[in-house]
Amino acid sequence: MLKYQEIALKIEKKIHFENLEQGSRLPSLGELITQYQVSKSTIVKSLAVLENRGIIFQVQGSGIFVRKRKRKGYINFMENQGFTHDLEEFNLTSTILNLEIIYPNEEIMNNLNCSANEEVYWAKRIRYINGQTLCVEESYYKKEIVPYLNKEILNDSIFEYLQNALNINIGYSDKYLKVGKINTELAAQLQLPDKSPALFVEELFYLNTGEPFDFSKTIYNYEHSQFFLQGSNAKN
């Protein structure tokens, strides 16, 4: 973990464990520099991370404040898959339907930027939220990058394994989403009537070199999934 990530995590944990309210003022930039004994640009980067994750907001010339969302019971849309998080309020479990090494079809080749004879791990899971079906998820991992996977790892946090055990540097991800109707197979897996509405999400995870290594397709049960997303004007 890099220094700015470490400091960001420390500030986040402090906000969480001290249960600071929406709008609470944090120490100033100068005070944070003294407190954490790091450079100004490290603190600036830590604060940018926290601002973009919706944990703080910064007002130029006025201060740094705690940001809390109004509604509970929503899943963090940006952090519910790969970038798993410690402080979740839900009980998430899963059943593995499939885990094997395959050769990719056209769709997987296009997304993972690989050739037909490059081996790929194919993992298929049903995930549950508080005991109810949340989604069906199929993931394809380039075996060249992820040489070993088993069911135990899949049941834990796979991204923790990739980052900590395999030392894979995950760079970023692209999500694509649309709404549609589910087919009979998905309906059975999600325990819903045929042709029910659903959110279809495809996601590509990249190494920090820009190479895609994980392509995932997830279909959510519309009755048990609602999400939140936090935007920051710092994006502008």
Site residues, a copy of itself (CB under 8 A): 2, 5, 22-23, 40-41, 44-45, 48-49, 52-54, 57, 59-60, 65, 67, 69-71, 74, 77-79, 82-83, 111, 169-181, 196-199, 204, 206, 208-210, 220, 222, 225-236
DSSP-assigned beta bridge partners for residue 75: 227
Cα torsion through 201, 90, 186, 150, rounded to 10: 90
Comparison of 17 and 71: residue with beta carbon closer to a copy of itself? 71
From first CA to last CA, the distance across the chain in angstroms is 27
CB of 20 to a copy of itself, least distance (A): 13
Smaller CB distance to a copy of itself: residue 93 or 196? 196
Q: How far is the CB of 98 from a copy of itself (least distance, A)?
A: 25
CA 202/CA 137 separation, integer angstroms: 10
**Nearest residue (CB) to a copy of itself, 52 versus 94:** 52
Give the nearest distance from C-beta 116 to a copy of itself in angstroms.
Answer: 19
Q: Which residue in this structure is represented by tokens 């796979």?
A: 158
- Select 131 or 210, whichever has its Cβ closest to a copy of itself: 210
By beta-carbon proximity to a copy of itself, the closer residue of 26 and 151 is: 26
When the beta carbons of 16 and 69 are compared against a copy of itself, the nearer one is: 69
In the complex, least distance from residue 97 CB atom to a copy of itself, rounded to whole angstroms? 23
Q: How far is the CB of 43 from a copy of itself (least distance, A)?
A: 8
2-25: buried (b, 16+ CB within 10 Å) or exposed (e) per residue? eebeebbeebbeebeeeebeeeee
Cα distance between residue 120 and residue 141, in whole Å: 5
Strand 56-59, strand 63-66: pairing: antiparallel
Work out the angle between the directed axes of helices 3-17 and 29-36 (0-180°, nearest 10).
Answer: 110
Largest CA distance in the chain: 60
Task: Kindly state the smallest distance separating residue 52's Cβ from a copy of itself, in Å.
Answer: 4
